Amino acid sequence: MNILISNDDGIESPALKPLVSRLVKNHNVLIVVPDGNRSGLSHSLSFYKNLTILKRNDICGAQTYTVSGTPADCVKFASHVLTDFKTDLVLAGINLGHNLGTDVLYSGTVSAAIEGATLGYKSMAFSSVSHEGGDLDYCAEITVTLIDVLYKDLTNNFIWNVNIPDLPKEQIKGYKVTPLGKQLYSDNYKKVSENEYVLIGKPQKNHENPEDCDVEWSSKGYVTLTPILYNKTDFTKIYEYKDKIEKTYKSL
């Protein structure tokens, strides 16, 4: 299988080597990642900006490129320019830090996978709950195992978003296929100079979350797997309003 790897932590991510070293044993791997950290850039693209593309030293034998833009830029560039590589799977991650619940709205890692899906590729996103990465060898082991399990039935209509708890292997309680929850933070804008602020905060318990959601199961020590659609249409509202609007307001 031909696997395109991207991330939002950039070329210096300590998660790259443990993951790639496992994948190259059985797959062809191409790495196209940002030239620096691009966390929290969501699905932004670098319109009307010159992108710098650099060929870097191979990582574990895999061709490696850096892009001066966003994670979504990386996937789009690889798809349109590095066309000799016939991608079967876009693999985003392993991200340092969780992408649970509403975090997926901000995540460059999840957005790299969604960009892959919109371009017609099967795509998956993997994250370690630990912002320091945790046991990245074990995270890589889980990632490779889940690729083998999930790839066959994966389509480009959705992505898998996987979060791995920051726990030793023997303390992982299991796996849960679960919907997204809502991740709350103690948001605070800290003033650092006369005209500058920095957003800081820590995750908080959300008492309105249902028990069956990724945020809650992750906190209990489970690997969570959430299928995410990039089509955000609320079809219930279409059915509710279609006749009401179209028949009532035939002309303005």
pTM for the full model? 0.92
Q: Is the pLDDT of residue 212 over 60?
A: yes
Dist CA 41 CA 102 (whole Å): 14
3-state class (DSSP) for residue 104: helix
Segment 5-30, tens digit of pLDDT: 999 999 999 999 999 999 999 999 99
Q: What is the pLDDT of residues 141-157, one digit of tens each?
A: 999 999 999 999 999 99
Other C-beta atoms within 10 Å of 188: how many? Answer: 11
**70-112 pLDDT per residue, tens:** 999 999 999 999 999 999 999 999 999 999 999 999 999 999 9
What pLDDT sits at residue 251?
A: 60
| b/e sequence 221-235, b meaning 16+ C-beta within 10 Å | ebbbbbebebeeeee
Instruction: Quote the distance between the C-alpha of residue 127 and its chain's center.
Output: 7
Closest CA relative to residue 161, chosen from 86, 230, 219:
230
Calculate the alpha carbon distances from 246 to 117, 241, 252 in Å: 32, 8, 11
Q: Is it true that domain 2-182+209-248 has CATH number 3.40.1210.10?
A: yes
Residue 87 is predicted with a pLDDT of 98
CA torsion sign, 180 to 182 to 185 to 191?
positive
Q: What are the φ and ψ backbone dihedral angles of 11, each rounded to 5 degrees?
A: -65, -25
Round to whole Å and give the CA distance between 100 and 7: 16
Locate the domains of the chain by residue range: 2-182+209-248
Bond prior to 94 in cis (omega within 30° of 0): yes
Which tokens in the block code for residue 185? 């933070």
Neighbours of 199 (CB within 10 A): 10
